[in-house]
């Protein structure tokens, strides 16, 4: 491919040069006498990204899938009951993992494109008078369909019901991009990955753990399989104990931690609220473009559309995978494919992380090229033009506000 590739998948995202530079360091001794000077502030600052004061953030060499597993193994025993929803590939896979790990999983099945309703969650919890459900699993942002769930509303409903279950959130494609408030929303475990809002390469599972859960795991003694020492690699208690001195129970991925340091610095410099507003603005530009082309998003309810990824339905007469192939082969543009139930029906534009208006326009331009190549009918420039119009209106508003 001649010229830069355009990365428009919902993770990995584009990497800022600052983060690339931060990771381009000589390898080092993770047991160096002064390592704690680096590690302790990093772990403290990560709490600000998760918006938790009482919780703890743990970082494992791994991926988001490992974070899912860590949540389950550290807190649940075989046979324990959990409640979640399946409304896309990733929410579905987390529920599958629950079953594979021997949990008793109740799954709210949704059409892909819909979000699970609060009522759907409420009905199951209300019926659970014995409080057999130990954990409620919520996928804040279903990466496969571009549909979000309202985590705060689920917590409010649980509180209304007085249900004591833990609340676990898959925030892999939302945290550090879409508003997330661990303490305010009463989240017990939140799972993020380095390759999304943190704008880094894959390789770190970043897990927020509430004070309640951390106390529980520290009180375990000698129990095996499921949530005792049996957690092994993902053990919260062992990790937290070593972290408290600024070290790790096994070799940490130091280069990625340097990237994470820079990532957290950048997020704090921009300000999380600004980060969220930017993602919303850029996402809205993409949605205007989709409308401009005469197409529609996979998300059926405008209230649940994702600010980090838009799945675009190409219509029955076209193969979305052909768009993806043309974009990749002819123009070096990577779009996300439809997964599972929506294979061939949608292509996905990721719009999260290190991103601005022109990067969005480049991705939209790439989509126009590829859609033309496969014969999808639309007015060339209509999508980009709609985004340009929206962005400049926003710019004008922001300039007026600044005056």
Q: How many Å is the Cα radius of gyration of the chain?
A: 21
Residue 254 binding a second copy, by CB under 8 A: yes
In the set 86, 107, 140, 195, which binds a second copy (CB under 8 A)?
A: 195
Residue 156 binding a second copy, by CB under 8 A: no
Q: Could you tell me where the beta strands, DSSP code E, fall in 70-155?
A: 81-86, 104-109, 133-139, 141-142, 147-148
Q: State the Cα angle at 97 between 92 and 103, rounded to 5°.
A: 115
Using a 10 angstrom Cβ sphere, with 0-12 exposed, 13-18 middle and 19 or more buried, the burial of residue 2 is: exposed
Between CA 85 and CA 365 the distance in angstroms is 35
Residue 337 binding a second copy, by CB under 8 A: yes
Checking phi first, is residue 176 left (phi over 0); if not, alpha (psi -120 to 50) or beta?
Answer: left
At residue 106, the 3 state secondary structure works out as strand
207: closest CA among 198, 216, 219? 198
Stretch near a second copy under the rule CB under 8 A, chosen from 123-131, 159-167, 247-255, 294-302: 247-255
Site for a second copy in 26-65 (CB under 8 A): 26-34, 60-65
Residue 197 binding a second copy, by CB under 8 A: no
Residue 100 binding a second copy, by CB under 8 A: yes
In the set 84, 88, 208, 226, which binds a second copy (CB under 8 A)?
A: 226
In the set 51, 155, 163, 278, which binds a second copy (CB under 8 A)?
A: 278
Residue 241 binding a second copy, by CB under 8 A: no
Stretch near a second copy under the rule CB under 8 A, chosen from 44-52, 152-160, 248-256, 308-316: 248-256
CB of 16 to a second copy, least distance (A): 8
Residue 83 binding a second copy, by CB under 8 A: no
For 154, residues 6+ apart whose C-beta sits below 8 A from its C-beta are 118, 121, 136, 138, 167
In the set 237, 240, 298, 324, which binds a second copy (CB under 8 A)?
A: 324
Site for a second copy in 363-382 (CB under 8 A): 363-366, 368-369, 372-373, 379-382
For 56, residues 6+ apart whose C-beta sits below 8 A from its C-beta are 43, 47, 208, 209, 211, 214, 240, 243
* Site pattern 339..368 for a second copy (x: CB under 8 A): ---------------xxxxxx-xxxxxx-x
Residue 389 binding a second copy, by CB under 8 A: yes
Residue 239 is encoded by which pair of tokens? 């990790």
């Amino acid at each position: 491919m001649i010229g830069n590739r355009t990365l428009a998948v919902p993770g990995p995202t584009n990497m800022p040069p600052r983060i690339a530079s931060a990771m381009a360091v000589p390898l080092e001794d993770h047991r160096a006498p002064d390592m704690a000077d680096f590690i302790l502030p990093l772990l403290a600052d990560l709490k600000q990204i998760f918006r938790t004061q009482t919780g703890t953030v743990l970082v494992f060499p791994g991926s988001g899938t490992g974070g899912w597993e860590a949540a389950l193994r550290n807190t649940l025993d075989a046979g324990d009951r959990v409640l979640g929803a399946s409304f896309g590939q990733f929410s579905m896979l987390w529920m599958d993992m629950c079953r594979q790990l021997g949990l008793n999983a109740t799954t709210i099945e949704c059409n892909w494109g819909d979000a699970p309703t609060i009522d759907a969650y409420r009905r199951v919890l209300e019926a659970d008078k014995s409080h057999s459900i130990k954990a409620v699993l919520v996928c804040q942002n279903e990466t496969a369909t571009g549909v979000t769930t309202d985590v705060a509303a689920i917590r409010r409903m649980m509180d209304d019901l007085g249900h004591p279950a833990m609340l676990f959130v898959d925030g892999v494609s939302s945290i550090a991009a879409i508003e997330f408030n661990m303490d305010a929303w009463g989240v017990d475990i939140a799972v993020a990955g380095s390759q999304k809002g943190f704008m880094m390469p894959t390789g770190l599972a970043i897990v927020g753990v509430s004070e309640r859960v951390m106390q529980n795991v520290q009180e375990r003694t000698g129990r095996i399989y499921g949530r005792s020492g049996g957690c092994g690699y993902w053990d919260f208690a062992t990790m937290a104990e070593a972290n408290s001195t600024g070290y790790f129970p096994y070799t940490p991925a130091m280069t990625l931690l340097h990237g994470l340091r820079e990532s957290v610095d950048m997020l704090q410099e921009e300000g999380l609220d600004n980060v969220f507003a930017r993602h919303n603005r850029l996402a809205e530009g993409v949605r205007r473009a989709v409308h401009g082309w005469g197409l529609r998003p996979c998300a059926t309810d405008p209230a649940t559309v994702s600010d980090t990824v838009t799945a675009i339905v190409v219509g029955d007469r076209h193969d979305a995978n052909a768009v993806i192939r043309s974009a990749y082969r002819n123009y070096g543009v990577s779009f996300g494919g439809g997964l599972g139930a929506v294979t061939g029906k949608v292509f996905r534009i990721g719009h999260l992380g290190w991103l601005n208006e022109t990067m969005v326009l480049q991705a939209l331009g790439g989509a126009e090229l590829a859609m033309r190549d496969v014969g999808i009918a639309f007015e060339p420039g209509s999508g980009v033009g709609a985004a340009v119009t929206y962005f400049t209106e926003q710019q004008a508003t922001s300039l007026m506000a600044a005056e």
